[in-house]
Amino acid sequence: MEKSELLERFCSRLAAIERRAVLTRECYRFEIRRFLDFLDAQKLSLENTDAGILLAYLEMRRNIDKIDSRSTAKAISALRSFFRFAMDEKLVKENPAVVIESPKRKKNLPEVMDKETIDGFLGKIKTKNPLGIRDRCLFELIYSSGLRVSEAAGLNIRDVDIEGGIVKVRGKGDKERLTLFGKEAAFWLGQYLREARGKLAGRVNKSDAFFISRNGKRLSRKGIWKNYAKWAFLAGISSHIHTLRHSFATSLLAGGADLRTVQELLGHADLSTTQIYTHVDVGLLRENHRRFLPKLNNINL
C-alpha cells in the first residue's frame, strides 16, 4: 500500500471509527506522515518496526523539531492510533507504541488578564467600518462565552440567540453545548448583524457562517488569530487569544461560580481540566494578600 493511500485510509478510520475531531485528525495525519518519512529515510519497514525504532523517531523529533513534552505525548497518541489501524489492516502483528510511556505534562497555570486590561484591548478595536464591528463582536463573544477560536470560527447564524443570550457551540469531538453571553456581547452581536455582516456578505452570498471575512467567506481560525494579534499590538498586550477564554473561566470562579458550572460552559470533558483555574484564583488571592499586607511578605503562603 502506498504512503498516500495508507494515510487516507488511516484518516478515514479516525473520522468514522475513532470519532476524532477535525483538528486531531490533521495533527495525527501530520505526525504519521512524518513517521513514515522517517522510516523511508532510515530504510526501515513498517512491519518490522519495534519500540526501539519508535523511540529513535521521537528522539529525532525532539532534537530536530524541538518538540516539547506536550507535543511528544501527542505524537505517541498518534502512533498508538496508527498501529491499531495497521494491526486491523494486517500490516503489522502488534502495536509497539503501547509500551512507550507518555511524558508527564507540566501543568502550567494559564495566563489571564484582568477586566481593565480586557476592556482596554476591546476599546482599541476601531468600529467605524464593518470589519472593525465584526472584530469587536467576535472578541466580545469569545470573552463573554469562553469560546475556543475553532468554536467561534465554526458558528452559524442559527446558533446564536441574541434575545436569549445563548449560543450553541460545537466543541472538541463535535460535541454540542449551550453557553451564555452577557449584555455587552449581545449589543455588539446586534450591531454586527444590523450594520456589518450584510456589507461583508454582499448581495449573492448565502453563507451560513456567523463570522465572515471581507470576501464573504467563513472567517478562518488563522484569520481570527491574525486579527487578534493586530488589535492586541495596538493595545500594548502580548497575551495569546486563548487568554480571553482563560480570563472568562477565572472571572466566573472568582465571582463564586462552582466548578461544575464552569466545566459545562467551557465544554471540558474532565473536571480536572477545569480545576486548574482554581489555582489561578489562589494565585490572585496571594498577590492581593501580599499587596495589601506588605508586612507579611516574608511569610511563605
Residue 251 class from Cβ within 10 Å (0-12 exposed, 13-18 middle, 19+ buried)?
buried
Which residue out of 148, 192, 197, 228 is catalytically annotated? 148
CA quadruple 130, 133, 137, 142: dihedral sign: positive
Catalytic-residue membership of 228? no
- Asked if residue 50 lies in contact with residue 99, where contact means CB atoms within 8 angstroms, the answer is no
Which residue out of 20, 134, 245, 246 is catalytically annotated? 245
Catalytic-residue membership of 242? yes
State the cell numbers at 51: 519500540
Residue identified by cell 476524532 is: 20
User: What's the number of CA atoms in the CB half-sphere (13 Å) around residue 197?
Assistant: 21
Which residue out of 25, 217, 242, 290 is catalytically annotated? 242
Residue 161 sits at φ, ψ, to 5 deg, of -110, 95
Which residue out of 57, 143, 228, 277 is catalytically annotated? 277
d(CA 273, CA 156): 27
Which residue out of 172, 218, 221, 240 is catalytically annotated? 172
Catalytic-residue membership of 291? no
Catalytic-residue membership of 168? no
Catalytic-residue membership of 57? no
- Asked if residue 22 lies in contact with residue 75, where contact means CB atoms within 8 angstroms, the answer is no
Catalytic-residue membership of 246? no
Q: Cite the active site residues.
A: 148, 172, 242, 245, 268, 277
